[in-house]
Structure 1
Amino acid sequence: MGRGKVVLERIENKISRQVTFSKRRNGLLKKAYELSLLCDAEVALIIFSSHGKLFEFSSIDMNSILQRYRQCCYSTQDTNIPEEGSHNLYQEVSRLRAKCETLQRSQRNFLGEDLEPLAFKELEKIEKQLDKTLSQARQRKTQLLFDKMEELRLKEQELEEENKQLKTKLEEVVLRLPAIQGVGDPSKADGYKHSEPLPTLQMGHHQFVYQEQAFDARTNIPGKSNPTPRWLS
């Protein structure tokens, strides 16, 4: 009677799991050794147990095998990445070129060019789009006009307010103008009286003389001759 089929699943019993690990580990190491010996292959085997213990086998130096492994993996990735990148880039360029051609054709159609190949539905679609665009343009134009009118109205209010302030200042200046003129003109000042010229002292003659105009006026009085100086009378 043959053995039953072994179910491959995690062994819950710790002892059984450890025994199975030891047996299969030894068998795996033996198979790796046989493979390297029979086939002249470079074999490296690394095993970590559930407790973190390391088990390894290498037909030659482990570091040299790992170095060859890294070089092989990195060189394969470096050669594959540019090919994939160039392929994706080519697809992206093709997609953008097709989109650009579609947009240019739509622009020419909106300008009324190249309409002959278009069908009735396509022309109707362009017409609806143009009507929608025209309506939006008119709404935007109306909004700009209203905004401009509001701006002018606010500016008008500011100018009116400034004009009122200037008018008030001008009225205040006009009211203060007579008082300012009175201070500047001595003849209009209150209590101002004209006085006769004051006598001046002439050094060396020991006599007071009046100013020349007053003296001439007294000496030219009709009916009098050789007037006597005032200080002798």
Structure 2
Amino acid sequence: MVRGKTQMRRIENATSRQVTFSKRRNGLLKKAFELSVLCDAEVALIIFSPRGKLYEFASSSMQETIERYQRHKKDVRTVNTLMEQNMQHLQHEAANMAKKIEHLEVSKRRLLGECLSSCTLQDLQQIEQQLERSVTKIRARKVQVYKEQIEQLKEKEKVLEAENAMLCEKYVRQPQEGSNEDRENTCTEGSDKSDVETELFIGPPEGRIKRTPSK
């Protein structure tokens, strides 16, 4: 079972309040001393009793610690001031950016032919002139792109013509080389046939007499 926190209130009885003050004061001074020794911390403690009596503890020098505290507070205030000024500047910049974005959105819609009811004659003339300038730039860019594509096609045409010329030359040479090879093969076969010796024999096989050429 979780118990709720007890609400702390002022002790109404003066005697009990004084006894509690003495106990808590001594415990607080003891803890401050232990903290300075165990943790090597610079500690300064100032206590005023309900009657205005001063109790204090300082691990080094109370005056130096107070001066250090004041310097730190001054530095913190300076940093906070700079941060606040920077925040205000950022908020101002954000507001300006929001206005610029809104203005650009309105201009964009007007260029698209929207939200023209609030435009004056001068505004409409400015929009018309802006559109004409935009169309002129677009057309100039389109002409430039056309020219670049034409140049690319011309270069591609030159490459294709060169390839076509090479193929034509190769096609013209191929039949001549083939005819030369055929002639060489024919000559080779004729020479092989001339080397074969043929003999004519008359009569039965056992009575074949080899004819010798006459001297």
What TM-score comes out, normalization by structure 1 length?
A: 0.55
Deviates more, 1:141-150 or 1:67-76: 67-76
CA contact (8 A) 1:182 1:189 kept: no
Query: What does residue 163 of structure 1 align with?
Result: 164
Deviation at 1:167, TM superposition (A): 2.1
Distance 1:226 1:106 in 2: 120
From the CA coordinates, give the structure whose radius of gyration is larger. 1
2:113 corresponds to which residue? 112
1:117-148 Cα deviation digits (max 9, x unpaired): 10000000000001111111111111111110
| 1:105 CA displacement | 0.6
Post-superposition offset of 1:109: 0.5
Q: Which of residues 189, 207, 212 in structure 2 aligns to 1:228?
A: 207
Which one-letter code corresponds to 2:90 in the other structure? L
- Indicate the residue corresponding to 1:203 in structure 2: none
Q: How does 1:103-142 map to 2 (within 5 A)?
A: 103-142=104-143
**What are the ranges of 5 or more consecutive residues in structure 2 without an aligned counterpart?**
1-60
Amino acid at match of 2:184: V
In the other structure, the counterpart of 1:68 is: 69
Contact 1:108 1:114 in 2 (8 A): yes
| Higher normalized contact order (CA 8 Å, seq sep 6+, divided by chain length) | 2
Question: Aligned partner of 1:76: which letter?
Answer: R
Aligned-pair CA distance for 1:90: 1.1
Asked if 1:148 is matched to 2:127, the reply is no
Partner of 1:84: 85
- Per-residue deviation at 1:74? 1.6
Structure 2 residue identity aligned to 1:120:
L
Question: Structure 2 vs 1, CA of residues 226 and 178 (structure 1 numbering), >3 Å: closer, same or farther?
Answer: closer
CA distance in 2, matches of 1:97, 1:68: 43
Matched residues, percent identical? 23
Q: CA–CA distance in 2 between the matches of 1:133 and 1:85?
A: 40
Helix, strand or coil at the partner of 2:207: coil
**Mapped contact 1:183–1:189 kept (Cα < 8 A):** no
Is contact 1:109–1:115 with CA below 8 Å preserved after alignment?
yes
Give the gaps of 5 or more residues in structure 1.
1-59, 198-213
Task: Judge which range, 173-182 or 113-122, deviates more.
Answer: 173-182
For the pair 1:100 / 2:79, whether they are aligned, the reply is no
